[in-house]
Amino acid sequence: DLLQLEAWIEERGRAKVRFAYRVRRRGQPNPLAIGYTVHACLGRDSTPRRLPPSLIAALQRFEGIA
């Protein structure tokens, strides 16, 4: 089977980004799986840190694309 993976930025905060995912069989409307991951920026002391400007700039290219 050929699979189609869709991924998009669902939410972006000051220190974290949530990516959402959907997997389907190619040409089929119903998803096989859906999910998300949350990625956070932390300092050496494990406290949240703002996303670096370079990462924000890279993510902005993909925001709004579903």
Q: What is the pLDDT of residues 8-55, one digit of tens each?
A: 999 999 999 999 999 999 999 999 999 999 999 999 999 999 999 999
What is the predicted pLDDT for the residue at 66?
58
What is the predicted pLDDT for the residue at 62?
82
Are 11 and 38 spatial neighbours (Cβ–Cβ below 8 Å)?
no
Assess whether pLDDT exceeds 70 at residue 65: no
Are 11 and 17 spatial neighbours (Cβ–Cβ below 8 Å)?
yes
Give the DSSP letter string of 1-59. Answer: --EEEEEEEEEE-SSEEEEEEEEEETT-SSEEEEEEEEEE-B-TTS-B-PPPHHHHHHH
